[in-house]
Amino acid sequence: MKIRELRAEITSMLSPSAEASTDASVLIMKVLGINKTQLILGDAEVSDSAYREILGYAARVAGSEPVQYVVGECEFMSLRFKVKNGVLIPRADTEILVEAVISRLNSQKNPLIYDLCCGSGCIGISLAKYIDDASVFLADISPVALEVSKQNAELCGVSDRVTVISMDVTKDVISEAADCIVSNPPYIKTGVLATLDKKVRGFEPRLALDGGGDGLDFYRRIIKTAIVKDGGLLAFEIGYDQGAEVSALMKNGGYGNVEIISDIEKRDRVVLGYKML
């Protein structure tokens, strides 16, 4: 069997999922160790053992397990990150948050950054990667997240400027004033969790999703306890309908020049502001 034939078979097996073709491609490239060009050419032969391995992985994806967990990695900000059960999967929408912070900190010397509720560490590690002199603390309550964050800092070559710390943001506060605090906290309303896609509610950690009754519990807590230098930046990823509420919380919490940034579909995605002097 050639790669192109295998790709068609796995895509059909994963249909009618909208991600069937993409997921099939991810599985094949991972197992065969090939790039996108080799996948598209599709003329190489697939061994029987590789075929069986890919079929096994595809069966897991067909059962709604996210392909990122199956292959153990994903791409974010053009970097490779390890992921596993117990850690939220990085998403393209979160790149908007990272890019917004980079653009606002690039002129600052040696910024100290805290990534709260860091999960895989994708936000803070990307900031360390693209802001050469940044020092970054990754904070999470989950032992799995802390383990994966350490691995990803090493994988991305920034472990010398990234420190991973255990922290419960509902109780603890950071030990020093930061130039920037960034967070993609849990923001799904508790009552909505059961309606999420099976790939999310069945496999991704509730700890990283549940934002309380109105989805704003973590924003309230972080805004109240954040130790940010005067003029420092506080930046959040938010749900599509939370822009006005999180903006109001930030303004009431002593932040100015509060800004809402939308995603490509014109939905609220990021809120950021500066600690007022």
12-40 residue pLDDT tens = 999 998 899 999 999 999 999 999 999 99
In a domain, 78, yes or no: no
Predicted confidence band at 150 (pLDDT cuts at 50, 70, 90)? very high
Is 71 in contact with 60 (CB distance < 8 Å)?
A: no
Say whether both 139 and 41 belong to one domain: no
In a domain, 68, yes or no: no
* Partner residues linked to 270 by β-bridges: 237, 261
The domain in which residue 52 lies consists of: 3-63
Q: How confident is the model over 85-114, as pLDDT tens digits?
A: 999 999 999 999 999 999 999 889 999 999
CA proximity to 25, closest of 71, 82, 60: 71
In a domain, 72, yes or no: no
- For the chain, give the mean pLDDT: 96
In a domain, 74, yes or no: no
In a domain, 81, yes or no: no
Q: What is the pLDDT of residue 277?
A: 78
Q: What is the pLDDT of residue 107?
A: 87
Whole-Å CA distances, 202 to 66, 86, 126, 193, 226: 10, 11, 28, 10, 32
Say whether both 146 and 54 belong to one domain: no
Say whether both 33 and 139 belong to one domain: no
Predicted confidence band at 165 (pLDDT cuts at 50, 70, 90)? very high
pTM of the full structure: 0.94
Strand ranges (E), the chain: 73-76, 79-82, 112-116, 135-140, 162-166, 178-183, 228-237, 255-262, 268-275
Say whether both 182 and 222 belong to one domain: yes
Say whether both 57 and 95 belong to one domain: no
Region 144-161 average pLDDT: 98
